[in-house]
Amino acid sequence: MTTINLFDNTSNDGNPFGPHSWYTLKQIYELLDDFPKQNPPSTGNLFYFKCQWHSCAYQCYTENEILHHVEEHCKAIENHISSLSLIVCQIYGCRVQLKSVYEFKLHISYHLYLLKLQYVGYKYLSEKVKWDFFDECGFIKQPSEVSDECPLICRWRGCKETFYSVIEFYTHVDKHINSYPRKRKNNNITYQCQWNDCIEVYDEKFNFGKHVNTHTLSKKCACPYCGERFLESTRLRDHMNRKVKNENDAKYTCDYCCKKFKDKQILESHSKRHYKDYECLICHAKMSCPSTLARHVSNVHGDGEEYKCRRCNKKYYTKTSLKGHEELCLSGEKEIKCPECPAKFEYLPSLKRHFTSAHQKPFTTDLYMCHICEVEKDTKNIDTSSKDVKKNKNGVFLFSNALSTHLKDVHKLNVPKGFVRFNYRKCPDTFFRLELTPHCRGNN
């Protein structure tokens, strides 16, 4: 079977959004002689689009222009496709393999949908928030969307229309939502969801529309830097404030895990996740919210749906977990780079092991302490740069799974009641230690 793959766009122009983003800022391209200067935007918009299709250097001013341009790329590649061909996505950094032109079209539409969401996110941040264009969010780039359904089917009762573009699919579903009249005073209209097997009813059209989005997985905006998608623009604002890159910017610290935050509201939201107030009646494991508990019961004790990797058949309980795995598995690329040498790795633990053995020092200060060995031995003055750490002496470990194995094999310890696995909490002295009891509101 042949695989159709062209070459990547590897130019680097100093774009603050990343060298292979679909867009950049005005001041970047004003310096380029070949940038189209005819009919410049009258609104003074700083945003310009640039094509990320292998070696294409096309640049334009509007969203519609870039969408139409990429559609032309899709039409051109159809001439190279045979029934025995695998198609590799030509968008830089993706390289997902598709089996048919229909899967290819649908996959490309997810790239373009993300482009639209990031543009909305850019406009929100530039207009509503005091925001430095060159201050990245600090999170890693999100994986490309891979649909497990082709074509997309509208499951509105009595519809069943099919689509090979996620943008057209969401536009179509919006028409179903907008076919309902708005509620007026003294009007007893209710809004009942017409999605297959759903009987939810809402009093307000706004809440009804948000509910339908849970069926289609549509979003409102995305981070211009990493591509994280959000249902609400305020979540994007919190996302930009969540990562602390400079310790001096952190005004707030979580009392439970010592994590630092710039924003008090984000700290409060974070702190709620530590509380395990919802108990499984079967195994007595405790969860942070009802939805997590329901997912636990379904996946662990019931016949919850499993999601299998299309390449290696590894199973996951959630689509999100599978998506992160398939981003690397389907492309075959190793994305995590060693900061001190050219080596690349698929998983962070592999990088940590390489860093420890090849460069003779711990990769991070995230060290795991055995609480039993700590009592038995004097471990208060441990040199964390010592080779003893590498050899797991004094009850100190580089990896959580190594400490878990140690607790089971050496100390014959079982998972504490209220947990489904060994959980570790970061303490003020920067060591991670085993959580012995769930953090509930009644015992803090």
For the stretch 347-378, pLDDT in tens is 666 777 777 777 766 665 578 889 888 887 65
Q: Of 128, 158, 181, which residue is a domain's last?
A: 128
Q: Give the pLDDT confidence score for residue 154 in this predicted structure.
A: 93
* Total number of domains constituting the chain: 3
Q: What tokens does 335 get?
A: 């994305």
In this structure, is residue 157 part of a structural domain? no
Residues 6+ apart with CB under 8 A from 322: 307, 308, 309, 316
Cα first-last separation, the chain: 60
My answer on whether 9 and 66 are in the same domain is yes
Cβ-based neighbours of 279, under 8 Å, separated by 6 or more: 285, 286, 287, 293, 418
User: Pick from 203, 199, 155, 209: which is nearest to 179 by CA?
Assistant: 209
Same domain assignment for residues 18 and 118: yes
pLDDT > 70? residue 231? yes
pLDDT beyond 80 at 421: yes
Residues in Cβ contact with 320 at an 8 Å cutoff, skipping those fewer than 6 apart: none
Are 374 and 323 contained in the same domain? no
373 in the same domain as 310 = no
123 and 11 together in one domain: yes
> What pTM does this model have?
0.62
Residue 60 lies in a domain: yes
In a domain, residue 419? The reply is: yes
* Beta-bridge mates of residue 192: 201
Q: Which pLDDT value is given to residue 18? A: 53
Work out the average pLDDT over 407-419. 89
Range of the domain at 427: 365-434
Is 196 a member of any domain?
no
Contact status, residue 110 vs residue 172, Cβ threshold 8 Å = no
Report the run of H or E that residue 24 belongs to, with start and end: strand 23-25
Residues 324 and 413 in one domain: no
Whichever domain contains 317, its CATH number is 3.30.160.60
Residue 228 lies in a domain: no
167 Cβ partners below 8 Å, 6+ apart? 109, 112, 113, 116
**Do 110 and 17 share a domain, yes or no?**
yes
Domain boundary residue among 75, 97, 128? 128
Q: For residues 316-332, give the mean pLDDT.
A: 67
- CB contact set of 11 (below 8 Å; sequence gap of 6+): 19, 57
Residue-wise pLDDT for 35-78, tens only, equals 444 454 443 455 678 888 877 888 887 888 888 888 888 888 77
Q: CA-to-CA distance for 155 and 168, rounded, in angstroms?
A: 14
Supply the DSSP symbol for 156: B
The answer as to whether 83 is a domain residue is: yes
Q: Do 320 and 415 reside in the same domain of the chain?
A: no
pLDDT band at 444 (very low <50, low <70, confident <90, very high): low
Burial class (CB in 10 A: 0-12, 13-18, 19+), 237: buried
Is 62 inside a domain boundary?
Answer: yes
Do 13 and 98 belong to one domain?
A: yes
Q: What is the pLDDT of residue 10?
A: 38
**Same domain? 13 vs 76:** yes
Record the tokens describing residue 236, joined without a space. 């994007």
Q: Are residues 383 and 311 in the same domain?
A: no
Element (H, E) at 308: strand 307-308
Asked if residue 86 has pLDDT above 80, the reply is: no
Specify the range with the lowest mean pLDDT, choosing from 111-125, 201-215, 369-383, 419-433: 369-383
- Across 78-87, 144-153, 173-182, 356-365, the highest mean pLDDT is recorded for 173-182
Last residue of a domain, one of 89, 108, 128: 128
In a domain, residue 348? The reply is no
Residues 109 and 6 in one domain: yes
